[in-house]
Amino acid sequence: MVQLSSAEDLPSILIVVCLVLAFTTALAHSYHTFAERKNISEDFSAALDIVSRLTGEVLVKYENNTYPGLLNPRSFENELGDYYKFLLMQGVNLSVEVRSLDGKTILSYGERPGLIRQYLSPPCSVSLPIVVAEAPASKVLGELVVWVWR
């Protein structure tokens, strides 16, 4: 039986260590990619839920009635402020903007995340067409854009 010295066995140990490190790195990378995709999917789902709640309940209140899809600018600040505080307590940040079809900002609420915050937790945005009742007889077509991030 031939015994190997430590100098003769060193190359095989280095090869095994390199293979184990490569496998561990590939495993960690695949998990990181999976977690990123899962977070993006969850954020988009949350953004869709928030937008449906905004257009169906929060931003469409007129006195005692609600008109889904018809935004009331007079209740924009009060109703959205309460809902914004509720979401902040759950760890969800929100920015809402209503634009006319020519790109002019009609209403805006909340701050957009900074560059560092966007890198660490990229915001998810959803936009829907909406009708804004500027006066009782005048209605303007617009776009509701909602940014959500954690």
The pLDDT assigned to 122 comes to 77
Could you read off the pLDDT of 54-112 as tens digits, one per residue? 888 777 777 677 777 788 777 777 788 888 888 889 888 888 888 988 888 888 888 87
Q: Which of 48, 80, 36, 34 is nearest to 148 (CA)?
A: 48
Could you tell me if residue 21 is inside a domain?
A: yes
Could you tell me if residue 82 is inside a domain?
A: yes
Could you tell me if residue 1 is inside a domain?
A: no
Could you tell me if residue 107 is inside a domain?
A: yes
Joined tokens for residue 88: 């902040």
Reported pTM: 0.71
Q: How many domains does the chain fold into?
A: 1
- Residue 143 makes CB contacts below 8 A (sequence gap 6+) with 98, 99, 100, 101, 127, 128, 129, 130
The pLDDT assigned to 32 comes to 92
User: Which backbone phi and psi does 122 adopt, to 5 degrees?
Assistant: -65, 135
Could you tell me if residue 2 is inside a domain?
A: no
Could you tell me if residue 12 is inside a domain?
A: yes
Which residue segment(s) compose the domain that 26 sits in? Answer: 7-149
Could you tell me if residue 18 is inside a domain?
A: yes
The pLDDT assigned to 1 comes to 59
Q: Taking the mean position of all CA atoms in its chain, how far away is CA 119? A: 12
Per-residue pLDDT at 20 exceeds 90? yes
